[in-house]
Amino acid sequence: MQTLIWNDLTEEEKKQALTRPAISASADIKKAVENIAELVKSKGDSALFELTEKFDRVTRDSLVVSPQEINDAINRIPEELKQAIQQAKRNITTFHEAQKPQTVDVATQEGVRCQLLTRPIQRVGLYIPGGSAPLFSTVLMLAIPAKIAGCQQIILCSPPPIADEILYSANLCGVEKIYTIGGAQAVFAMANGTETVPQVDKIFGPGNAFVTEAKRQVQQQGTAIDMPAGPSEVLVIADEFADPDFVASDLLSQAEHGADSQVILVTPSIELAQATETAIEQQIAKLPREQTAWKALENSRIFIGEDLRECVNVSNQYAPEHLVVQVENPRNLLPFLDNAGSIFLGAYSPESMGDYASGTNHVLPTYAYTKTHSSLGLADFSKRMTVQELSPQGFQQLAPTVMKMAEAEKLDAHKQAVSIRLAKINAGI
């Protein structure tokens, strides 16, 4: 990892040092995804079968996972893993239940009642990647809040063969329809519907470059998505009291995600930085995904700050997906941390806890989107509506204000909608 003294950098050098590896769908990916979109649109289920054979090398008679397949998968899951998934589900449920919105019903003035109502998004689609690391934990992170929010239709797509753990987790969370469809074609199937796959209103879940590009395209066409996606990342703020073995393990836990992941260490202690690099070299050799982690480290940085306040400033500028705070009194820094997807305070709060079972959601904005976007939560599976109701007395009192404002904006019909009513009230009609 490249080590830089923050105060030795010019403003332009600081900006460059905090830049993520470039992410952009190549022209080839965009064109390939557009072709998939057209194929799914024109041929429906037939296209999904063809693309499954082409990309997943799997031939199926049905796009739907049968109850028997789900039961068989459940029976193959070791009991210890079932218990672990169930505990994670309990914690995630507890945290998201606590996010249920409070009732807002207020009189802004006498006779003027305003309310804020929350309603679930009716139809949602969950995409769960397969491959070498089937993310069954993401099933919990998506399906649990969807259920709590009250979404009436929850479907799940994942490329075949779907891992037993994904099927078990989906069944545990009450997902009733599971489809063996992966890649961009799954996104387009959920966005537009086919003979078998129902159309949804919003699509959630991570994926590769093709899935990400497909989500971008369907968003432009009117289907909502969870959030902008980018490579995984972590920033660790650590002081001289931090354990370098812990710091190294947190950096590597994100570096193993992919070669385009980025990990950052910000510390006022050069000694801690050097000890962490030594610990990384010792730990990385034990990882099955060692080469992937090394490639990610090529894009990573260590910044030496003057003090912890400066380290916080660097973190807020970078705006990480995951922020790990390993300092002597971590909660003291919390009021100053403004931009992060999820924050992990203290030596015994590794990012892995939030990824799986602490209760918070691991679907987080990346690529500095934490400056404007939030971590996934219950609110993402619902929408808000406002209600207003005025009594005749409340209307009369507010009418002059509204007419004056409408007149100033030269919107005469707005003024008229008030003045006609006011005239009838004054006439006793």
Of 154, 100, 152, 155, the C-alpha closest to 122 is 152
Catalytic residue among 96, 277, 322, 351: 322
User: Is 426 annotated among the ligand-binding residues?
Assistant: no
Whether residue 335 is preceded by a cis peptide bond, meaning omega within 30 degrees of 0, is no
The values of phi and psi at residue 37, to 5°, are: -60, -45
User: Are the C-beta atoms of 216 and 305 separated by less than 8 Å?
Assistant: no
3-state secondary structure of 115: strand
Catalytic residue among 213, 256, 321, 351: 321
Helices (H), 237-345: 244-255, 270-284, 290-298, 308-318
Q: What letter represents residue 153's amino acid?
A: Q
User: Is 122 annotated among the ligand-binding residues?
Assistant: no
User: Is 12 annotated among the ligand-binding residues?
Assistant: no
11 is catalytic: no
User: Are the C-beta atoms of 339 and 360 separated by less than 8 Å?
Assistant: no
User: Dihedral through CA 169, CA 170, CA 171, CA 172, nearest 10?
Assistant: 50
User: Is 322 annotated among the ligand-binding residues?
Assistant: yes
User: Is 257 annotated among the ligand-binding residues?
Assistant: yes
User: Are the C-beta atoms of 36 and 213 separated by less than 8 Å?
Assistant: no
User: Is 232 annotated among the ligand-binding residues?
Assistant: yes
User: CB-based contacts of 303: which residues, under 8 Å, 6+ apart?
Assistant: 3, 4, 5, 6, 17, 264, 265, 266, 267, 311, 314
DSSP state of 112: E
322 is catalytic: yes
Helices (H), 52-174: 67-76, 79-97, 136-149, 164-172
3-state secondary structure of 183: helix
User: Is 46 annotated among the ligand-binding residues?
Assistant: no
User: Is 185 annotated among the ligand-binding residues?
Assistant: yes
User: Angle at the Cα of 280 (from 274 to 281), degrees rounded to 5?
Assistant: 95
User: Are the C-beta atoms of 240 and 269 separated by less than 8 Å?
Assistant: yes
For residue 31 the two structure tokens come to 């064109």
Distance CA 325, CA 34 (A): 42
Instruction: Output the CA–CA distances (angstroms, integers) from residue 53 to 105, 184, 209, 391, in the order listed.
Output: 54, 14, 20, 64
Binding site, annotated residues = 127, 185, 208, 232, 254, 257, 322, 355, 409, 414
Binding site, annotated residues for Zn(2+) = 254, 257, 355, 414
Binding site, annotated residues for substrate = 232, 254, 257, 322, 355, 409, 414
Q: Which residues are catalytic?
A: 321-322
Binding site, annotated residues for NAD(+) = 127, 185, 208
